[in-house]
Amino acid sequence: MVLIRPADTADVPSITQISNALLDTTTYEWTETKHTIDERGRWLEEQRAAGRPVTIAEDDGRVVGWGTYGDFRDAARWPGYRFTVEHSIHVAQSHWGHGVGRALVVDLAEHARREGRRVMVAGIDATNHRSIAFHAKLGFAEVARMPGVGEKWGQRLDLVLMQRDLAEPLGGDPCP
């Protein structure tokens, strides 16, 4: 049984390890620079200070995934976006296909609804077919493909944007 809970400082090494796991072998995250524990610790504190959730998936006492969200675009500068969030989830490869990602997204969607958010967006590297299929299963619709907007290893990359209305329930989601 996977436990979903808020992240704390003790989780930073696990968050860092999960974040770095596929950096050297995929274009799923558009950076070639490994995350450090110090950088991730500062990031966690910034997320907390801004009131943004960072959620942990724990299996038998071990962190096996994490998720968060932030504003889509710059809601402070363009307040029309204030009801939309963009999320990010990372799951240890050992736990792919075991409901961890679903549990993280459901938890983030509940948190976003409580904040009065209406739409959740996922920005996904176009080569990440598993993530695209995962999001589609959860009711996210592909709304855009943006060719060549990213780069890693000297290769131009395409971004897929998917979104779901938070008023629409998904399986296992206690949407009001």
Give the DSSP letter string of 159-173.
Answer: EEEEEEETTS--TT-
Give residue 58's pLDDT band: very low, low, confident or very high (50, 70, 90): very high
Give pTM, 2 decimals.
Answer: 0.93
Determine the Cα–Cα distance for residues 117 and 114; give it in Å rounded to an integer. 7
Query: What CATH number does the domain containing 148 carry?
Result: 3.40.630.30
CB-CB contact of 105 with 67 (8 Å):
yes
Contacts of 143 (CB under 8 A, 6+ apart): 161, 162, 163
For residue 176, pLDDT over 50 is answered with no
Longest Cα pair distance anywhere in the chain, in angstroms? 46
Report the domain count for the chain: 1
Domain that holds residue 150: 2-165
Determine the Cα–Cα distance for residues 52 and 19; give it in Å rounded to an integer. 18
For 95-137, write each residue's pLDDT tens digit: 999 999 999 999 999 999 999 999 999 999 999 999 999 999 9
Which residue in this structure is represented by tokens 């996922």?
A: 122
Within a domain: 173: no
Give residue 168's pLDDT band: very low, low, confident or very high (50, 70, 90): confident
Within a domain: 94: yes
More confident residue, 71 or 170: 71
Helix 12-20 and helix 37-49: axis angle, to 10°?
110
Within a domain: 176: no
For 12-48, write each residue's pLDDT tens digit: 999 999 999 999 999 999 999 999 999 999 999 999 9
Determine the Cα–Cα distance for residues 169 and 176; give it in Å rounded to an integer. 8
The order of strands in the sheet holding 2-6 is 2-6, 54-59, 62-71, 84-91, 119-125, 155-165, 141-152
Within a domain: 175: no
